[in-house]
Each structure stands twice: as structure tokens, then as C-alpha cells.
Amino acid sequence: MNDLNTPIRGQSYRNGLVSIQAEEGLEYKWILHESKEWFEKVKVIQGSDWEWSKEDAPKVSYKFDNLGFRNDKSIKEVSKDPNWWLFDSSCFGLGPGVSSERTVPRMLEKYTDIPVYNMSLFGDRPEIITNNILELSKRWINPPKKILLHISEHPTGSYRLENNNKFTNIDYPGLVLSELITGSTPDQFSWFENFEEQKMGEGHHRLAYNTIIKLCDVLKLNLSWLYTGPVGDYSPVNYLKEHQDIIFSPKPIPGSGCGSYSKETPFNERKRIVSTKFLDPITTYQPARRDEMFDVSRDLFHPGPESHKVMAQTICQHFLESKRNF
């Protein structure tokens, strides 16, 4: 029996899909850097006025379906409806620090009465999206009426798939956290600086996003993209926006990325930016900027419920769906 107080942190390759390492139907209490001990320290720092310190604070737990995605229903149950949507937008679907009913896919269901299957993960890897769409297409009864996919803020990083099928994102957050814990650069990141300086990730992202577009075309899926970060000179949105339907958030969302930098930002400066943005909430129990307190979720890093609501409403308005519940 799993200890539900043990944070869910791993992703694995199983049943042909990359998904969260969790058992179906269990209500886990913590995810990623959250833990019971970490949360108690945050409450001390933030005090009794903090939303999540109060006795009537929203309850947050994490429940996964039989494929390892944050859903209460299976892909077969959802896809019985001929009008269902397929959703993947990283933290807006996985929702660290946010109760399930307040995440974007569940808010979309509330606003539109359209079933939504959520296949969101963390790490912004377009290679995963390609694989998972293909595998889900073997399982759904009806194809989705719409498919909404997340565009990463930067074309950086890679991944590692190990012999035991553990899937690891090789990226800046993983690097800075590993160096914090070990005091040195782990072997699995020894090549990462050269990889980034050679801009190899950009080519990988271009190919991956083009593959997604072609796959959706072959499967005859109505594809739209979601972008939640600032638009810089190094974002994949630049090579998608000319011919693709893209829904932009009303403003850059706190926590949508680990930090903004340009194509020419040196490797060590990127590490510093990510360290400040990513490690501050984990190690100091404060959001990276104090004025983000009401924008971030319980985990002090990812977008809070209000950002989820605004993003869901923006999606509905884009497609002229019902606003009766806004």
C-alpha cells in the first residue's frame, strides 16, 4: 500500500505512455516539492492569514486514473461522448498545489458541459505529447472534438529514459536542484551545458512540434495551442504562430516557467535565473517575488486557482463557448 503522504514526483514509461508514477484512484496528499514537513514550515513563515493556513482552506489531493493522469474518469469513459476535448497544458492540468476541481480542464467542464480528458504532466517535453497522443488514439472510442496542447516557454532541455522505464526530465530545474542536494553536478547532467550552448534543444523542439502537427493532421484532430508565458526571442511560439491556432493567456502567468531569458543568455546566467525562481519557494518558503503571493498555488511556485480560472475562461471565449457559469 502506498504511503499517501509520500510526495508524487516520478514519471515513468508504462503501457506505452509516459505518465505519473501513481496508483489508480488513491488520493495522494503531495506532489513534486510539496510534503507534509515542507507545508508545516510554510504555514509558520506565512502565518495564519495565508489562505492555506486556515482551517477552512480548500482541500488539495491528487487522484490519478489507470493510465497515470489526473482524472476521475478513464479515457474510454470520457471518449464515449462525441464532443469531448483532449487537454495537455503542463501545470494548468497537473495543477500542483490546486484542488482538481479548480484546475483548467475541470473548469472547462464546468463552463461548457463538455467532457475533458486531462493528459498534462510536468517538464514541458513535446516528445511526450507526440507519444501520448498516439497511444491514447488507440484507446479512445470517439476522437476528441478539440485538442488543446501546451507550448513550452523555451526550447531547452532533453530527457532520460532508463532501463527500468523511469522517465527523467533533463532541464535547468533538475540541474539546480541536483546541485543543491549533492553540491556538485551529477553525471547525468555532465553534458547539459554543451547541449544548451550548442542550441541543440531548439532543433529538437522544432522537429517535435512539427511531428505533433502532422500527427494531428493524420488523425484529423482539431488542434489548438495554449501559451502562458512571455513571448521572447527564444520561444517555440515564434515558429508556430504563423499557421497555428494559438490561445495566449491574458498576461504572462506566474509559475508558467522557471524564468525568462533570451537566446543569448549565457548558461550560468540561466542557471542563476532558474535558481532564484525555482529554489526560493522550495528553500525559503516564499514565492520568488512577494507580489506573486496571491497568484501562486499552495506550493508557492505554480499558478494559483485564480490563474486557472482566467485561463479556462480565456479558452471558452476563444471558442465562443457558453459563459453562463463565469
Ordered by where they begin, the domains of the chain are 66-318 (3.40.50.1110)
pTM, entire model:
0.94
Give pLDDT, residue 4.
83
Question: Looking at the DSSP assignment, which residues form a beta bridge with residue 168?
Answer: 160
Asked if residue 269 lies in contact with residue 276, where contact means CB atoms within 8 angstroms, the answer is no
For the chain, the first-to-last Cα distance in angstroms comes to 41
Name the residue among 260, 201, 203, 202 with its Cα closest to residue 228: 260
Give the torsion through C-alpha atoms of 70, 75, 76, 77, to 10 deg. Answer: 40
The pair phi, psi for residue 247, each rounded to 5°, is -105, 115
Residue 219 in contact with residue 241, Cβ under 8 Å?
no
- Beta strand 158-161 with 166-170 is antiparallel
Please tell me the predicted confidence (pLDDT) of residue 222.
97
- Please list the pLDDT of the chain residue by residue as tens digits (326 residues): 467 888 999 999 999 999 999 999 999 999 999 999 999 999 999 999 999 999 999 899 999 999 999 999 999 999 999 999 999 999 999 999 999 999 999 999 999 999 999 999 999 999 999 999 999 999 999 999 999 999 999 999 999 999 999 999 999 999 999 998 898 998 889 999 999 999 999 999 999 999 999 999 999 999 999 998 888 888 999 989 888 999 998 765 544 567 778 889 999 999 999 998 888 899 999 988 766 777 899 999 999 999 999 999 999 999 975 555 55
The count of other CB atoms within 10 Å of the CB of residue 118 is: 28
Q: Which of 322, 320, 311, 318 is nearest to 105 (CA)?
A: 311
pLDDT of residue 295: 87
CA dihedral 88, 292, 325, 93 (to 10 degrees): 20
Output Rg (C-alpha) for the chain, integer angstroms.
19
Contact by Cβ (8 Å): 3, 36: no
